[in-house]
Amino acid sequence: MKTLIKNAQVVLPTGIESVSILVEKGRIAAIAPAIQTAVDEVVDATGLHLLPGVVDDQVHFREPGLTHKEDLTAASRACAKGGVTTFLEMPNTVPAAKTQALVDEKLALAAKKSLVNYGFYIGATPENLADLKTAKNVPGIKIFIGSSTGDLLVDGQDALERIFAETTLPITAHCEDESTVRANAERFADTADVADHSRIRDHEAAIIATRRTFDLAKRHRHRFHLLHVTTGAETELLDDHQGLITAEVCLPHLMFSVDDYARLGTLIQVNPSVKTKQDRQQLWQSLLSNQVQVVATDHAPHTREEKQQNYPQSPSGMPSIENSLALMLNEVHQGRLTLSRVVETMCDAPARVWDIVRKGRIAEGYDADLVLVDLELTRRVLDEEQVAKCGWSAWHGCELTGWPVRTWVLGHEVYREGQFKTDRLGQAAVFDHKRGGYWATGD
């Protein structure tokens, strides 16, 4: 099957050009192919922009064990609708993915259910160093330094030293200092105000844990990716990356601040917590300056009934994956950043950070994971139109300009203007960690 996408404005690594793209056997066969090339399908993309598919490196799709909140079928459809063609999922499912066998079980589930491409982190515990040293077919090791329960919580210094010293896979972490969070929680033990969530999971908790992991990464010369930066103080640490450290910001922290609790309440209760308007402004500045390389979602859905419980019974986390690209395209429409920067942070950089083979760019030989977007299309985010299983969005009622309209995974169209094609599924992402990560492949 040969497909020619023509008349689109194509976002290439070198800039935006009006060229045709030839897709064959799941790959990008040619950019600006010969005019006489015979094809099976022609897609006229006049007036639209063609982007590489989004790579979201931080999601919680809840399967196995918590499928009343989300599952791989619904979540991968939400990905396809939102222009996300590859996701990397966190290990805190039930059971937690802390051994190769449990990672392999999740890979097998996705092979039967996921409409888009997928990968799964292995979770660190204080006791599974042998599993971490031998893990394969994973993007990296996930450590919860705070904000977890059971044996996925790793905050003891000896265990952290051994993980950084004795493993070779890239490491990523949720960085909130557990002792600080617990001490703050005792101070606000009688609270029923969700705004206190940002006082419990405060700036100090984030900064202490971030400094701690940066020290570990630098002393042990170990690649480290900082998840969901939330404070301006953390961004100031990122210039001294030493070719080892990358970072990301997630949509809840880019889009909301503590001032939004009055309007949205527990819907924007997330871990780490949202911070001040000034922090939010510094996050945007760090994104524009490349102090922060990646934009992700931390898609972490709960049912509406769960989220509507009074604080602190309400769980932290929110869905966002099917609106993530549209939210960022709306920022392009408003002039905050360029379309090329959206592609760099949502497609190219996460693929490079995690050494994903043939993903993140529109280039010859790369996988034909593509999304066609209409930068002039204006729609509202509506709860009743959400594909994610929980069926709600913190952006309900928001009007956005710039939306995905068609998505291809490995050259196969999986979504077109509200309709899904489910006759073919995605594939497991391939990781080549000999590539050396983001800083080894350019800036």
According to CATH, where is 3.20.20.140 located in the chain? Answer: 55-359
Low-confidence ranges of the chain (pLDDT < 50): 443
Catalytic residues: 298
pLDDT in the model for residue 337:
96
Residues 63 and 109 sit within 8 Å (Cβ to Cβ) = yes
pLDDT in tens, 355-384: 999 999 999 999 999 999 999 999 999 999
β-pair partners for 59 = 89, 299
168: left (phi over 0), alpha (psi -120 to 50) or beta: alpha
Q: Which amino acid is at 6?
A: K
pLDDT in the model for residue 33:
87
Under CATH, what is the fold of the domain 55-359?
TIM Barrel (3.20.20)
Q: How far is CA 191 from CA 114, 149, 186, 198, 302, in A?
A: 41, 21, 10, 12, 22
pLDDT in the model for residue 146:
78
According to CATH, where is 2.30.40.10 located in the chain? Answer: 2-50+366-420
CATH of 2-50+366-420, one of 3.30.360.10, 2.60.40.10, 2.40.50.140, 2.30.40.10: 2.30.40.10
Reading the block at residue 156, the tokens are 């003891």
**Euclidean distance between CA atoms 207 and 76, whole angstroms:** 33
**Euclidean distance between CA atoms 264 and 286, whole angstroms:** 26
Q: Which amino acid is at 7?
A: N
pLDDT in the model for residue 443:
46
pLDDT in the model for residue 35:
75
pLDDT in the model for residue 37:
83
pLDDT in the model for residue 36:
79
